Structure 1
Amino acid sequence: MPPAALVDSHCHLDFPDFEGELPQLIARANAAGVTRMVTICTRLRNEPIVRAIAEAHAPVFYAAGTHPMSVADEPMARVEALVSLAQHPKFVGIGETGLDYHYTSETAAAQQDSFRIHIEAARQTGLPLIIHARAADEDMARILTEEYQAAPYSCVMHCFSSGAGLAQAALDLGFYLSMSGIAAFKKSAELREIFSSAPVDRVLVETDAPYLAPPPHRGKRNEPAFVALTAQTGAEVFGLTLDAFAAQTSANFDRLFSKAAAWDAQQGAA
């Protein structure tokens, strides 16, 4: 029986960890049932490199933005530039963006400015916002809510590992939570409990490769094939079979990342 069909909704295939290995990496992912993956550009000057990966590999889509930890080192993103990038047929999301006060709290004000710019680009393009949040739950919930009340947009909380309050704030706005290998760590019982309280139709799975490999690969390089291991944890959290959880999260991905789903439908019809 073929493996359950999954989507790795967030990875970083342009990182040096994977240099010279992408065809083999994607083949391993496909063998593990990972039919699609979204590779994320974290510095806009690298967008041409990430775009080329998506163009060269049929299962790969991409997104781009300025990572909050890079805000101080990069030119401030512009709404118009992000909207322009989004015209590419395989560009399916805005980000990753967000707030990280764990390592870079000194740039909090600039991070918030950048974050709001990305939100506006998500509004104008209709593409989902891809959010990184660490040690900034209060400001994150406040900005998400303020901006949504001003005008709606769609969003995924990538690699969600924050508190229950931020999870509920995001879910109340209709947003999605993405489960990474962190949820499979032995010490992550509280995080698994947060996910178990979420509607299963609002959950995605991801690797964040090359980071955060799930057991039994923890501490080693992560790769898209390993999303199947995180999905097994997700299935257990929701009391589903792996096939059912994979089908649900793939349907969730198609609903949120509708541009990717439309691309697949177009290719299938061609």
Structure 2
Amino acid sequence: MLIDSHCHLDFPDFAAERDAVVTRARAAGVGRMITISTRIERFGEISAIADAYPDVFCTVGDHPDHVHEGAEASVEQLLDLARHPKCVAIGEAGLDFHHDRAPRALAERVFRTHIAAARESGLPLVIHSRQADEEMAAILRDEIGKGAFAAVMHCFTSSAALAEAALELGLYISFSGVLTFKNAEELRRIAEFAPVDRILVETDAPFLAPVPHRGKRNEPAFVADTAKVLAEVKGIEPDRLAAATSANAFRLFARMPGVPAA
């Protein structure tokens, strides 16, 4: 079994054929999909998609690109929505200094709110970090000093220094189709040193389709292509990689039912 630990099935890209997308994922050996929230106000739509499929789960949170577009989320609001039985995590939340759309002070404050909700709920945090390595490491160290929380650095494309900091703090690292790109040598080196019991795979669909699908719309079935490359990087058999990453996902997203792969 493989688990797509991060996709966006609520995006318009999938509206016309969501059933077919899920069916293709199952045929590719994907046993669980987590559709990730980017706007709290759309949680009803996201949770409805999770409710429609037994193997699809969801999260609740505000992506850093959107935190300035509506009312600022509160810990209480996140906790209330996170009680939905198919919600398995808080996020995605974090910092994005590439697009830099939201005021940085607001983005940091909202990120810390999501951390507090993860800590209080006991659910893991799905972290988005782009071109904000030093600030992200500093916030994570500060917040974990206030009290532990589980988290994953999703679609990791940052520096080795941030990867090392995240691993030292007990976080997981998730690899997307970027790992398969020709110019991703540094990312493959990071994947090589990341412990097998701390890695996940994802698509971030509909974005970042892996080779050989690059340039096309991504979908959960394609997580198998990323997993194949990750297994090669780690020097292990694909079946072992699938079992390890699935066990890691079940451990991290503990509310998600299922027996971890042996």
Alignment TM class, shorter chain as reference: over 0.9
CA contact (8 A) 1:43 1:74 kept: no
1:264 to 253, 258, 262: 258
For the residues of structure 2 that align with 1:167 and 1:74, how far apart are their CA atoms?
Answer: 32
For 1:156, what is the secondary structure of its paired residue?
strand
2:35 to 34, 39, 50: 39
For 2:67, what is the secondary structure of its paired residue?
helix
Post-superposition Cα deviations, 1:221-265, rounded to whole Å, max 9, x if no partner, equal 0000000000001100110111000000000001101110xx336
Identify the residue that residue 236 of structure 2 maps to in structure 1. 240
Shift of 1:106: 5.6
Identify the residue that residue 161 of structure 1 maps to in structure 2. 157
Task: Establish whether residue 183 from structure 1 lines up as the match of residue 186 from structure 2.
Answer: no
Aligned residues: 259
Task: Establish whether residue 55 from structure 1 lines up as the match of residue 36 from structure 2.
Answer: no
Deviates more, 1:102-111 or 1:171-180: 102-111
For the residues of structure 2 that align with 1:29 and 1:106, how far apart are their CA atoms?
Answer: 34
Identify the residue that residue 129 of structure 1 maps to in structure 2. 125
2:23 to 22, 27, 30: 27
Identify the residue that residue 68 of structure 1 maps to in structure 2. 64
Bigger share in helix: 1
Identify the residue that residue 268 of structure 1 maps to in structure 2. none
For the residues of structure 2 that align with 1:264 and 1:221, how far apart are their CA atoms?
Answer: 29
Shift of 1:86: 1.3
For 1:41, what is the secondary structure of its paired residue?
coil
1:198 to 187, 194, 198: 194
For the residues of structure 2 that align with 1:49 and 1:186, how far apart are their CA atoms?
Answer: 36
Segments of 5+ residues of structure 2 without an aligned counterpart are none
CA contact (8 A) 2:63 2:93 kept: yes
Structure 1 vs Structure 2 CA RMSD: 0.9
Q: Which amino acid in structure 1 is aligned with residue 209 of structure 2?
A: A
CA contact (8 A) 1:61 1:92 kept: yes
For 1:96, what is the secondary structure of its paired residue?
strand
For the residues of structure 1 that align with 2:81 and 2:181, how far apart are their CA atoms?
Answer: 36
Task: Establish whether residue 85 from structure 1 lines up as the match of residue 81 from structure 2.
Answer: yes
Matches within 5 A, 1:99-178: 99-104=95-100, 107-178=103-174
Deviates more, 1:248-257 or 1:99-108: 99-108
Task: Establish whether residue 250 from structure 1 lines up as the match of residue 242 from structure 2.
Answer: no
User: What is the identity percentage for the equivalent residue pairs of Structure 1 and Structure 2?
Assistant: 55
- The TM-score, its normalising length taken from structure 2, stands at 0.97
